[in-house]
Amino acid sequence: MNLTVIGTGYVGLVSGTCFAEMGNTVTCIDVDKNKIENLKKGIIPIYEPGLEPMVKRNIENKTLLFSDVLKDNLENCDVAFIAVGTPMGEDGSADLKYVLQVAKEIGENMTTPLIVVDKSTVPVGTADKVKETIASELEKRGLEIEYHVVSNPEFLKEGDAINDFMKPDRVVVGADDDSAADTMRRLYSPFFRSSMDRLITMDVKSAEMTKYVANAMLATKISFMNEIANICELVGADVNKVRIGIGSDSRIGYSFIYPGSGYGGSCFPKDVKALKKTAEQNGYTPKLITAVEDVNDIQKLVIAKKVISKYGEDLSNHTFAIWGLSFKPGTDDMREAPAIYIIKELVKRGAKINAYDPKAMDEAKHFYLKDVDGITYFNSKYETLAKSNAMILLTEWKEFRAPDFHEIKKQLKEPTIFDGRNQYNETLLNELGIEYHQIGKKRP
């Protein structure tokens, strides 16, 4: 098929490239000319394992094209995906201005029948707005061209996005028209080798809702577990054991019940807020969803509180080695990363920070921690330790999992680790004489 993907952000670029990999001809559009020029050369603006070689391969095969002009790429296009950003508005709702701008441009320029797909994460009712916007532009042009608006939310995890797209758990398609649903089924069938059961079709509004509910459910599991971790500490239980105890119940399962320093990233924080807003706009006051967010806000600072309770409110004359800045491993993304909040909290009290992250240091320096004084960045994890009082682990990158603890002990002023991701073995660290603070288990 001939596809157009509008928006070459994370979702657009991964989706477009994977569709090209499956043999479609895909044109990816973005208003950012500089980005498009780079993409034409195979230079991608994000770090995502496996994406760059796939982009380059498909550019060479001429199955992946890039352009900054939408209007030239609608003719002969079977399906146009809207994958532009939906930033959080000031009131917590998703801002649809970019989505509706694209819809308007489609209405102004389309010449042949088209399926328009909402791929961006958009609140319930957006497909109707996209449909109305296109209709009104066609009316202005005095044209009647057949088109359908479909909802096809993405469920990609950063760091594993290619795998998620190429071998999806499920694909959700919301379509109010059978022929549009059939086209989507044909488009996705190569991604399901054995059975198409995992392509789930439904009405548009339910599909729009599914995206938010999936993310809110996962965020709820995490906040629930973080709250349990805080209770475990108070009663003298070990949340790591409780986690295994409950996960063994197949109704509960092991995934997404790891306590930590709170969830971050581009999806959970934004989607939980947006779902809450949608509920409120429809006259419902969501109590659980609100609590999920409140617990997460508190959780982001739990490690900072542990540091303060050991060293006191005044942290001048203290230096902390921070291992990990990104919101999770496998990405350079620092959006809503706990590291931002924890570092600011420590620096506010006079602390100096020695930071290292395998991928996210540029993001930190140039954006997220740009205005924060007192941070020195290092090129390796061990270099952060010299003259530091303690090491604080905030992202569970693989290279942090089994470090040389003797080296850590030798370099730190006082051998102390604060583990915001419960990665280490407490018994081992105690034997080595390293003071170990983790989430959800009080120190003996």
Q: Which residues bind ligand UDX (CB under 6 A)?
A: 154-158, 215, 218, 222, 256-258, 260, 263-265, 267-268, 327-328
Cross-strand partners of 116: 80, 149
The residue from 28, 77, 232, 267 that is catalytic is 267
What is the chain's alpha carbon radius of gyration, rounded to the nearest angstrom? 24
Q: Which of 99, 202, 227, 119 is nearest to 165 (CA)?
A: 119
Q: Is the torsion defined by CA of 202, 208, 209, 213 positive or negative? A: positive
Shortest Cβ 189–ligand UDX spacing (Å): 22
Q: Six-digit token pair at 238? A: 């070990």
Which residue number, 318 or 328, has a Cβ lying nearer to ligand UDX? 328
Shortest Cβ 299–ligand UDX spacing (Å): 8
Shortest Cβ 312–ligand UDX spacing (Å): 28
Q: Six-digit token pair at 44? A: 């991608």
Which residue number, 327 or 418, has a Cβ lying nearer to ligand UDX? 327
The answer to whether the CB of 170 falls within 8 A of the CB of 153 is no
Decide if 267 is catalytic.
Answer: yes
Which residue number, 105 or 271, has a Cβ lying nearer to ligand UDX? 271
Which residue number, 384 or 423, has a Cβ lying nearer to ligand UDX? 423
Shortest Cβ 306–ligand UDX spacing (Å): 17
Instruction: Give the residue nearest to ligand UDX (CB).
Output: 267
Residue 355 CB-density burial (10 A; 0-12 exposed, 13-18 middle, 19+ buried): buried
Which residue number, 27 or 223, has a Cβ lying nearer to ligand UDX? 223
Which residue number, 90 or 169, has a Cβ lying nearer to ligand UDX? 169
Q: What are phi and psi of 122, to 5 degrees?
A: -130, 145
Where helices occur in 236-337 by DSSP H, the ranges are 239-247, 268-281, 287-299, 302-311
Shortest Cβ 216–ligand UDX spacing (Å): 11
Q: Quick one: DSSP state of residue 95?
A: P
Quote the CA–CA distance of 273 and 413 in Å, as a whole number: 42
Q: Six-digit token pair at 24? A: 């479609």
Shortest Cβ 259–ligand UDX spacing (Å): 7
Beta strands in 62-113 (DSSP E): 64-67, 79-82
Q: What are phi and psi of 329, to 5 degrees?
A: -70, 160
Question: Which H or E run includes 223?
Answer: helix 204-235
Q: Which residues are catalytic?
A: 267
